[in-house]
Amino acid sequence: MKALILAGGFGTRLRPLTCTRPKLMFPVANRPLLDWVLGELSKNGITTAILAVNYMADVFVRYFGKSKYGMRILYSRETKPLGTAGPIKKAETLMSEDEEPFFVLNGDILSTIDYRALYKAHLDSKARATIALHEVEDPSRFGVVELNEKNQILRFIEKPKSGEAPSHLINAGVYVLDHSVLDIIPDGKEVSIEREIFPVLANDKELFGYRFESLWVDIGKPHDYILANKVMLNTIAAQNHIERGSKVSRKAKIIPPVAIAKGTVVEADAVVGPYASLGEGVVIKRGSRVENSILFPHAWVDCSASVKNAIVGEGAIIGSWVKIEMDCIVGDHAIIDNNVTLTC
């Protein structure tokens, strides 16, 4: 089985951190987001992963190379943004080694969906496309579907106004497509699968839905990213991951679950966790507190500071008695002076 992963977005909602690395390489529980995605695909029997890359393409090629987790990794490089359907058409020759249906995934989604069951549901329905559907409380930020009793998608509505959504079932950004879908995607231009392709298939009664209830988090905004890190620490990483080569004082308090990478220093009277990811070489000085936050490699938190529900970029310096909270992003190498409070 093959999977095409959309990995070329600019990740504008997570700037400035996406100015220096693609969103899919952001650490989640100290592993790149895309690394988690590939691990799940491999566990589900996918043998070839095609990365559709554009923005900072070389970062992916350098990190993942030609194979990962026993899967072959191929790259489809775009020279301009092609949206969410254009990259599928661009990769047509790579997909055409056989005529089997293939998976397409938004690469910024963490889920434990049963890909085999989704594939089987697609074959059983004889549809041209099957969308994985997840139920959420507030569907207004997503593509929402109206389904009939046979799981056929009748309507597809992008980001409905609140109160106007036909259901709480949203497009989870994971699909199985038949080869024939490639024929209706225009070549060489930016095309949205949600706005231009799915409505056509729904109209032709060729679009089905597959509901699943397992873990699903998408990473778009800072709040989602912090939540994804929390969920992964909680469910998949489950316990503390304190790597060898980190120096955690016996007088520091570590509240699980946390991920602490090698080269990290946590001094006495510091409190780390719950839900803190400290990247390689991070320093947490005496008396500081880090909770529900992600600190990129080599971030430095001075004495008695507090970082809560926040993201701190690589090499950033947080002064003493600083307070950072509420989905704040501190950019790479930023310096926050002593006694400053940051809230968003």
Whether 337 and 320 have beta carbons less than 8 Å apart is answered as: no
d(CA 217, CA 232): 10
Q: Which of 21, 23, 230, 323 binds ligand GTP (CB under 6 A)?
A: 23
Q: Counting contacts by CB under 6 A, is residue 40 touching ligand GTP?
A: no
Report DSSP letters for 91-153, one per residue.
Answer: THHHHTTS---EEEEETTEEE---HHHHHHHHHHHT-SEEEEEEE-S-GGGSEEEEE-TT-BE
Site string for ligand GTP, 70-89 (x = CB under 6 A): --------x--xxxx--x--
- The phi, psi pair for 209, rounded to 5°, reads -120, 150
Residue 330 gets the label, from left (phi > 0), alpha (psi -120 to 50) or beta, of beta
- The phi, psi pair for 183, rounded to 5°, reads -70, -20
Q: Counting contacts by CB under 6 A, is residue 54 touching ligand GTP?
A: yes
Q: Counting contacts by CB under 6 A, is residue 108 touching ligand GTP?
A: yes
- Name the nearest CA neighbour of 42 among 75, 64, 17, 11: 64
Long-range contacts of 297-304 (CB under 8 A, 24+ apart): 297/261, 299/330, 302/338
In this chain, which stretch among 1-9, 95-103, 120-128, 276-284 interacts with ligand GTP, using CB under 6 A? 1-9
* Annotated catalytic residue, options 43, 80, 120, 159: 159
Binders of ligand GTP among residues 281 to 340 (CB under 6 A) are none
* Structure tokens that stand for 44 in this block: 């589900």
* Structure tokens that stand for 2 in this block: 């093959």
Q: Which residue's CB is nearer to ligand GTP, number 194 or number 291?
A: 194
Q: Counting contacts by CB under 6 A, is residue 32 touching ligand GTP?
A: no
Binders of ligand GTP among residues 208 to 227 (CB under 6 A) are 220
Q: Counting contacts by CB under 6 A, is residue 11 touching ligand GTP?
A: yes
> Cβ 37 to ligand GTP, closest distance in Å?
9
Q: Counting contacts by CB under 6 A, is residue 52 touching ligand GTP?
A: yes
Q: Counting contacts by CB under 6 A, is residue 44 touching ligand GTP?
A: no
Known catalytic residue at 23 = no
Give the active site residues. 159
Q: Which residues bind ligand GTP (CB under 6 A)?
A: 6-13, 23, 52, 54, 78, 81-84, 87, 106-108, 220
